[in-house]
Amino acid sequence: MSKTLSILSVVPAGSAHRVLGHRSVALPGVTVDILTTRKIELQQWELRRLNDPYWRLYWPMAAGGVVEIDGVKTALKPGIVYLIPPHTTFSTTTTRPFSKWYAHFSLGPVADRAAPGIYSFTNTPHMRSLLQGLIKLGRNPQRARFPWLSIQLVAETVQRLPDSVWEQQRLDARVLKAMEFMNQHMSLKLTADQIARHAGFSVRNLNHLFQQELQQPPMRVLLDYRLDEACRLLRHTDESIEAIAEACGLVNRHYFSRMMRQYRNTSPAAYRSEQSGT
């Protein structure tokens, strides 16, 4: 008796289209969201316990900057590229004026939960050629319509991170599905029941798996997504605080401010007013 092969349909039932086949490879999607790429000349760089929801790439052009994490100081050196994952609490100082290229970027809800710290890599000839391209674009800003060079530089640097940075990303597929759903619908008034039904299990199992794999209940993860997106909009757009609260599902400015003070130890206005050279 011949074995029946499973057939995968990649279009919804009832659709006018018909696409049938066998899935041989299925890799997860990834996002590279470049928030900003800049060169900055710093006379002073005094940050105290900064903690943001996006990645940082630092490329110092001269010595003088120092990053401190958990009491360990890292002097930023020319010829080295540094990555700091989201939600790494760090402070900075300067030993003398210096300049650096930097990028702020996001990689999506799963990759942005990478292990905190500071990771350094010797730059490669290809990375140096990418930076030269960015320097040329900086001389002619009208040509800098799309951040292709920034995306290439970020991708080349991120792929050099050790596996240990990603170990905590090996999550249950149902948890990943719930996280993706929350991240894509954070502006809506989501309930635990809606999230659980989308992921295909009960609210009880949803809570159990989130506590087991993320050490947080699902609604707290949803709040983190909302606050992360709100912080990104505060730092990188001119939207009003009221508009940001509504766009991120944070009800209103009062609730947004209360959550920021409770979980980020600052206010929306204070967060926005921080120096942009970070």
CB contact at 8 A, 103 and 153: yes
Please provide the average confidence, as pLDDT, over all residues in the chain. Answer: 87
User: Is this structure's pTM higher than 0.85?
Assistant: no
Beta-strand runs (E) in the chain: 8-9, 20-21, 33-42, 47-50, 55-60, 65-69, 72-75, 80-84, 90-94, 98-106, 119-122
For 119, the token pair is 């990771």
Q: What pLDDT does 108 receive?
A: 83
CB contact at 8 A, 235 and 272: yes
> Can you identify the CATH homologous superfamily of domain 171-273?
Homeodomain-like (1.10.10.60)
Residue with tokens 């029946």: 4
**What topology is assigned to 33-167 in CATH?**
Jelly Rolls (2.60.120)
How far apart CA 158 and CA 160 sit, in angstroms, is 5
Which residue spans of the chain are classified as CATH 1.10.10.60? Answer: 171-273
Q: What pLDDT does 276 receive?
A: 54
Render pLDDT for 173-195 as a digit per residue (tens, 0 to 9).
888 889 889 988 999 999 999 99
Between 10 and 113, name the one with better pLDDT.
Answer: 113
Q: What pLDDT does 4 receive?
A: 46
Residue with tokens 């086949």: 21
Best CA proximity match to 183, nearest among 227, 136, 244, 233: 227
Which residue spans of the chain are classified as CATH 2.60.120.280? Answer: 33-167
Residue 264, CB half-sphere, CA atoms under 13 Å: how many?
Answer: 26
Q: What pLDDT does 232 receive?
A: 87
CB contact at 8 A, 169 and 158: no
Render pLDDT for 95-153 as a digit per residue (tens, 0 to 9).
999 999 999 999 987 788 888 999 999 999 999 999 999 988 888 766 667 789 999 99
How far apart CA 179 and CA 95 sit, in angstroms, is 42
